[in-house]
């Protein structure tokens, strides 16, 4: 296999796509967010990476809250629109119908199959970005997207993002059971031992 | 739409799947990792979330380095195996053929279409997990997985993971252009203004 060095500004393949919800100066705002991850198991903490200049970062600092909303692929045009215009110059509060749960400053998107409400617990100021860590204090799922009470990715039909080619993708076929697909090899090793 | 509260231990839909490479006490080790994200744009920093008790966390602390390897879906059995056995009790150094780049303690997997070498820049000790932030100091791609010099997710065929249903997935169809799909709405608004 021919291996090429492709530099250092390399991204995750692929990123999930979410809409990060905030209130900024009392107005609902959303931005598409692909830089996020669960960071702690117990309590359930999630981190979100936001360029420090973004309007959204201001809202999180103002209120100490944010929401993480998982859009389905049929919302791709509205999701992308939210990334093309800044809340500093454009009122995005009407793009999605919203509701509120436990936190009064974490707007949740009615059309999204899964929405998380987060309370800020840590802020890491990195050179160009803020890494905000929030505790998930509640989550709201569209009943039609659940299977046995759990979010079902086939029903949610979420979006993925690759950079720097800047393309959205959907989730494809199931590829195996996690903590399961490799069990045969564990058994073989035990049998040999 | 009927909305149900599904608690607070909710995950990202979906997580990317990588193999986190380390040297622990001089031995190559890999664990599957779905909790990761780019966290800073410039310099290029990536964060990885590891349960503190994991053998891998020890290796990162020991050497201040780690690798992030993106396996293609045909490696699912070997990837999953690495999550079923701990490097503390099982030598996983022979599971994959490895090579080294700039860092001598960040093992890279020959069979993976994309491998990143990272030097630890920050460690955040969270309640149950460590959040290690590394600077990407080099990356290595299989030439066959590039299109115009960039990683092509269709050629890489990476894995995704959903929790707590614990299933792997592949990437499906393209769903639109990022920073593009919503451009029509921006134009309509400008035309109206």
pLDDT at A122: 98
Say what the pLDDT of residue B1 is.
Answer: 66
Name the pLDDT band for A193 (thresholds 50, 70, 90): confident
Classified as helix, coil or strand, B5 is strand
Q: pTM, whole model, 2 decimals?
A: 0.97
Two tokens at A180? 């399961």
pLDDT for A112 beyond 80: yes
Question: In B, residues 130-189, which contact A (CB 8 Å cutoff)?
Answer: 131, 133, 135-144, 146-147, 149-153, 156, 158-186, 189
Query: What would the mean pLDDT of B179-187 be, rounded to a whole number?
Result: 96
Find out whether A140 and B2 touch, Cβ atoms under 8 Å: no
Task: Name the strand (E) or helix (H) holding A192.
Answer: helix A183-192
Specify the pLDDT at position A171. 98
- Please, are residues A160 and A135 in contact by the beta-carbon 8 Å criterion? no
Average the pLDDT over A94-112 and give the result.
Answer: 97
* Position B193 pLDDT exceeds 90: no
* Chain B residues lying within 8 Å of A20, measured CB to CB: none
B64 touches chain A (CB under 8 A): no
> Cα(A52)–Cα(A133) distance, rounded to whole angstroms?
14
Calculate mean pLDDT across residues A117-134.
98
Judged by CB atoms closer than 8 Å, whether chains meet at B160 and A171 is answered as yes
pLDDT tens across B101-137, in order? 999 999 999 999 999 999 999 999 999 999 999 999 9
DSSP state at residue A184 = H
Q: What is the pLDDT of residue A20?
A: 98
Q: CA B97 → CA A131, B158, B190, distances in Å?
A: 35, 18, 55
Q: Are B164 and A179 in contact (CB under 8 A)?
A: no
Query: Is the pLDDT score of A137 beyond 90?
Result: yes
Residue A190 contacts B where some CB pair is shorter than 8 Å: no
Of A15, A79, A84, the CB nearest to B186: A84
B126 contacts on A by Cβ (under 8 Å)? 39-40, 45, 133
| CA separation for the pair A81, B78 (Å, rounded) | 40
For residue A121, which residues of chain B lie inside 8 Å, CB to CB?
none
**Per the CB < 8 Å rule, is B150 touching A6?**
yes
Bond prior to A43 in cis (omega within 30° of 0): yes
* Predicted local distance difference test score (pLDDT) of residue B171: 98
pLDDT, position A48: 98
| DSSP per-residue string spanning A19-72 | EEEEEETTEEEEEEE--EEEEETTTTEEEEEEETTSHHHHHHHHHSEEEEEE-B
At A1, the pLDDT band (50, 70, 90 cuts) reads: low
The answer, for A125 touching chain B at a CB cutoff of 8 Å, is no
pLDDT tens for each residue of A39-75: 999 999 999 999 999 999 999 999 999 999 999 999 9
pLDDT given at position B2: 80
Residue B158: which pLDDT band, with cuts at 50, 70 and 90? Answer: very high
Which two structure tokens, joined as six digits, stand for B89? 């009790």
Looking only at the bridges linking them, the beta strands covering B3-5 and A129-142 are antiparallel
Å between B25 CA and nearest CA of chain A: 23
Q: How far apart are CA A63 and CA A23, in angstroms?
A: 7
Sign of CA dihedral B56, B58, B62, B65: positive
Which pLDDT value is given to residue B9?
98
């Amino acid at each position: 296999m021919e291996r090429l060095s492709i530099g250092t500004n390399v991204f995750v393949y692929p990123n999930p796509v979410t809409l990060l919800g905030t209130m900024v100066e009392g107005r609902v705002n959303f931005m598409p967010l692909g830089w996020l991850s669960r960071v702690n198991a117990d309590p359930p903490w999630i981190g979100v990476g936001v360029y420090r200049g973004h309007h959204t970062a201001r809202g999180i600092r103002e209120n100490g809250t944010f929401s993480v909303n998982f859009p389905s692929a049929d919302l791709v045009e509205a999701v992308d629109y939210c990334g093309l215009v800044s809340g500093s110059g454009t009122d995005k509060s009407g793009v999605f119908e919203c509701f509120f749960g436990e936190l009064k400053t974490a707007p949740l998107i009615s059309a999204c199959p899964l929405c998380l409400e987060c309370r800020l617990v840590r802020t890491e100021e990195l050179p160009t970005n803020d890494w905000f860590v929030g505790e998930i204090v509640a989550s709201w799922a569209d009943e039609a997207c659940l299977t046995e009470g759990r979010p079902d990715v086939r029903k949610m039909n979420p979006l993925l993002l690759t950079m720097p080619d800047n393309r959205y993708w959907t989730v494809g076929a199931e590829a195996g059971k996690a903590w399961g697909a490799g069990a045969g090899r564990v058994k073989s090793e035990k049998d040999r031992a």
